[in-house]
Amino acid sequence: MARRMRAHVQRLLLFLAILGPGLITASADNDAPGIATYSMAGSTFGYAFLWILVWITVGEVVVQEMAARMGVATGKGLTDLIRERFGVKLTFLVMLGLILANLGTTAAQFAGVASSAELFGVTRYIAVPIAEAAVWLLVLRGSYRYVERVLLVLSMYAIAYVASAILVKPDWGEVLRHAAVPTVRLETDYLLAVLATVGTTITPWAAVYMQATVADKGVRPADYAYTRADVVFGAAVGNVVSGFIIVATAATLFSQGIRVQTAEEAAIALAPLAGRWAEALFGVGLLGASLLAASVLPLATTYAVCEAFGWERGIDHRPEDAPAFYGLYSALIVLSSLIVLIPGLRLFSLMWLSQVANAVLLPVLLVMMLQLANDVRAMRTWRNRRVSNIVVIVLTLLVVLATGSLLAS
């Protein structure tokens, strides 16, 4: 009995040691544009949007597990493998699309910082520079383990959204029923909201970041079961939090006929319906999510570009040993924060364009990942199983069809 208990404790400690990439990536997916999307979905469609999150979770687990498995099997990042398999020209085009998409999305995170700060009476011209400096110093002065611990702490922002949903006292029976029973609506707004939800949950940068961090962390094949558990756990937690955001807005705003388009609108609208605590918790959640994503997104971009062109990369390197890595990271942080401080800039348009760029890039990346994950020479016994291939193919086709509908509309 004592031996069995020690074995369970050892497995738990090993899982906690490996825990990180999956939870951080999934939590960062619930960024400022994501929270805005879920707030809009909850206030516009009520609980009828919850079932979609269940199926999106399946797709996210498959894609992220595939990226993590390639990182363990090859010891290389995704863009490193893309360069080796598809050549420099195609890699350059993919990197260009990733940089543009992630620059816009990172700017949206600093916009989230600005919005949450203004909810508490702090001007963006103070909040954004402080956030910029904090995010920059985190990576410049920290080791991989230190940075990972800080990002894991930032992932705790999710508690604020769970608490805000509980405060509004929804009908949990209705919540569970809508999560289990699909409600399909062939309306333009509904289909666009579905695309936005897919685009903010399953993203190119998330797959790149997942594989890069698993490879950088040096996860051994023998310990991969724990990394896979981290991926599943992270995706489940991230999308449960998304569900709580929908529940909080559906139980209050939808029932009152109030529609919102941004997270800050949702926070302000919650105050007279659910109290100032609900508004404050929503604002705190937005700040935590924005800071987490503002740290992770530039890292994902920097890892991808440096891998693609064979430059030294990694947080454990000193700045003088990896100048391209730290230079690109700094440039992304500075440019993104400056964009947010431009007077009169329409941040909604910026967020929309970055989401479109992600939606266009995602199918291309998924096709490349499929070919790499089924490569006998690179993956050997770690190749994809048939179920994973089917899920990714269906997901790719759905994203292509939805993106075509979005561009046509």
Is the full-model pTM beyond 0.85? no
Could you tell me the CA-to-CA distances from 134 to 89, 206, 292 in Å, in that order? Answer: 36, 22, 11
pLDDT of res. 331: 87
Element (H, E) at 122: none
Q: Is the pLDDT of residue 199 over 60?
A: yes
Q: What is the pLDDT of residues 218-240, one digit of tens each?
A: 777 777 887 788 777 877 777 78
Q: What is the pLDDT of residues 34-93, one digit of tens each?
A: 777 777 888 888 888 888 888 888 888 888 888 888 888 888 888 888 888 888 888 888
Residues of the chain with pLDDT > 90: what percent? 0
Task: Sketch the domain layout of the chain as residue ranges.
Answer: 19-408
Distance CA 400, CA 406 (A): 10
Q: What is the pLDDT of residues 1-17, one digit of tens each?
A: 555 555 544 554 444 44
Distance CA 196, CA 242 (A): 13
SS3 content of the chain, % helix, strand, coil (to 5): 85, 0, 15
Distance CA 297, CA 113 (A): 15
pLDDT of res. 12: 45
19-408 fold = Amino acid/polyamine transporter I (1.20.1740)
- Give residue 171's Cα distance to chain centre: 28
Which residue has better confidence, 404 or 146?
Answer: 404
- The average pLDDT across 178-202 equals 74
Residue type, 255: S
Distance CA 335, CA 103 (A): 8
Q: What is the pLDDT of residues 242-290, one digit of tens each?
A: 888 888 888 777 777 767 666 566 665 555 444 565 666 667 777 777 7
Q: What is the pLDDT of residues 360-387, one digit of tens each?
A: 788 888 888 888 888 888 788 888 888 8
